[in-house]
Chains A and B, each alone.
Chain A
Amino acid sequence: MNYKRIKEKIYKWIFTVLAFSSLFFLVGIMIVLFKEGTPIFKDVGFFKFLFGSKWYPTYEPPDFGILPLILGSIWVTAGAIIVCVPLGVGSALYLNELAGFRQRQFLKPIIELLASIPSVVYGFFGMVIVTPFLQKTFNLPTGLTALNASLILGLMATPTVCSIAEDALSYVPRSFREASFAVGANRWQTLTRVVIPAAGSGISTAIILGMSRAIGETMTVLMVAGGAGVIPKTFLDPVRPMTSAIAAEMGEAPMGGDHYHALFAIALILFLITFVFNIIAEIISRRFRIKLGLSG
């Protein structure tokens, strides 16, 4: 056996291990989440935990109802979608359809740069600039609201949505556009009737991944959502999304207690939500590739 072949084998082995390590970590995380999260369902009951409207984990007797937290997450995510879809898809359309080469070279990295700003910086921006602004504009007692979190999260999810939507648009074959122009459609008609429908599932994937990004974000919502564990009635109410409850309380929950298990159960539910989002995104994008005749 020569030296080179052994070396090659070793490299192959190392990279195989590295590739499978993600799987190993994923399974490990799932096992821990299930192991630490499920005991609370036995104590409280699954439906009571999921649909209880009171979150008082440290009182005697405690209330473990996470409905306000789930709704808090859903509200800020929905709000973020309202912000990031027009921004993200709009910029993707502009970049792909209208921008010249030099504009594109300039704009794309800038939008992607938005993704590299740490979330704590976004949170700080929200706390110091957006909060007083909302407080004054809407004459609110406090500017720390679902709206505030939605605006910031929307901005944070924009680069994700934009860059995936842009990829989807660029996969639409040239021939589609050319055929459309050939039958006399103008630019707008080509865009709305041909390009967007063709890239539609890719754009949906972009939006779903944007949602995953928004619902999982922690630091920002911890700083700007207000943190009140009530069922929100309007976007101008403070909310307490699931992530911020976990982040704020985990450090102080006695290990092995009900509160500790409840926080893990929240994490488990959050994990399942983003897991489902990602699977849906994967299915849609696979169909999309098949539809366009690209390799699945």
Chain B
Amino acid sequence: MKKLAMIMAIGIAAISLAAGTCFAEKIVVAGSTTVLPIAQKTAEVFMDENSGVDISVRGGGSSVGITALIDGNCDIADSSRPIKDVEIQKSASNGRDPVAHIVALDGIAVVVNKSNPVSRLSKKQVRDIYMGKISDWAQVGGKPGKIVVVSRDTASGTFEAFGELIMNKEKVLPSALMQASNQAVGQIIGQTPSGIGYVGLGFMSGELKAVEIDGVMPSKETVLSGKYPVSRPLFMYTNGKPQGVLKEYLDFIKSKKGQELVETQGYVGLK
């Protein structure tokens, strides 16, 4: 019987512990891996400043986040694309009402290996490369060699933005290497002298060289001024108008301090 008493004691302790955390205000954030660093950083700082708030942040992808929001499994859905019609219908039938909040801007840099002499391309050249019409670097003023086209997966928000802004919805050639993350694209371009890819500005590294598009270099300034043609807003979705601590957190992200944190993560803050 001693054992039983012990098990019961542990059980009671566990329950009271769980109950203790219930008193803290809890926010669950899930979704886009592109928005993830923003959510993580702002959540950390926000929790430091407001004890008693517990923010848990998860990735998963834009659709995972929005699905979780529709199902009531998260309070904020991170998304690197606007919500889709299918998802709006689904929300309506679940009695949910997703509201969009733009939290940052992101430039998508077209990148090549740092040893590649090509430093500028036109939007049309990039499109032709990704459609397979241009297949050799010599055709765009580089060293002769087959172009290795690297793209994000067709389902990713980054791909979607790229598809709209550069490809005009044309199909990417089927032999393109489709990669699951910005890091993977960066890794491949870093070790492939004849590669071309695209990554969010936050994922630029020393091994990569960003290319001027239509004569504009991707940077914070050119994205903010709208001169750089390949940029997009990043979203957080809430169910209905946010209230209470949820509102405080979103206001914090949009505040001057929050936007500074956004920039430390390599994204472009809203003005």
Residues on A lying within 8 angstroms of B by beta carbon are 54-60, 68, 127, 131-132, 135, 141-144, 222-223, 226-230, 237-238, 240, 244, 247-257, 259
Contact = CB atoms under 8 A, between A and B. Distances in A.
A226 B177 contact: yes
A56 B176 CA distance: 12
A60 B163 CA distance: 12
8 contacts: A59-B171, A131-B191, A142-B188, A142-B192, A144-B177, A144-B188, A228-B176, A252-B153
Interface of B: 33, 59-64, 66-67, 70, 84, 86-87, 90, 145-148, 153-157, 159-160, 169, 171, 174-180, 184, 187-188, 191-192, 194-195
Most buried by B among A54, A58, A254, A259: A254
Q: Give the 7 A-B residue pairs with the shortest CB-CB distance, closest first.
A: A251-B61, A252-B155, A248-B180, A249-B155, A227-B178, A255-B67, A252-B61
A8 B180 CA distance: 52
Contacts of A223: 184
Given A229-B174, A255-B70, A56 B187 contact: no
B195 A230 contact: no
Contacts of A132: 191
A127 B87 contact: no
Given A127-B187, A132-B191, A142-B192, A252 B157 contact: yes
A187 B97 CA distance: 76
B63 A57 contact: no
B237 to A, nearest CB: 13
A239 B29 CA distance: 34
A158 to B, nearest CB: 26
A229 B177 CA distance: 8
Contact of A254 (B63, B147, B187, B188): B63
A143 to B, nearest CB: 8
Contact of B148 (A56, A142, A237, A240): A142
Nearest to A60: B169
Most buried by A among B84, B155, B176: B155
Contact of B177 (A68, A127, A142, A250): A142
B153 A249 contact: yes
Nearest to A258: B86
Contact of B63 (A54, A135, A237, A251): A251
B192 A252 contact: no
Given A227-B177, A250-B61, 18 more contacts: A55-B174, A59-B169, A59-B171, A135-B191, A142-B188, A142-B192, A143-B191, A144-B177, A228-B175, A228-B178, A230-B174, A230-B175, A248-B153, A248-B178, A251-B61, A251-B64, A252-B64, A254-B67
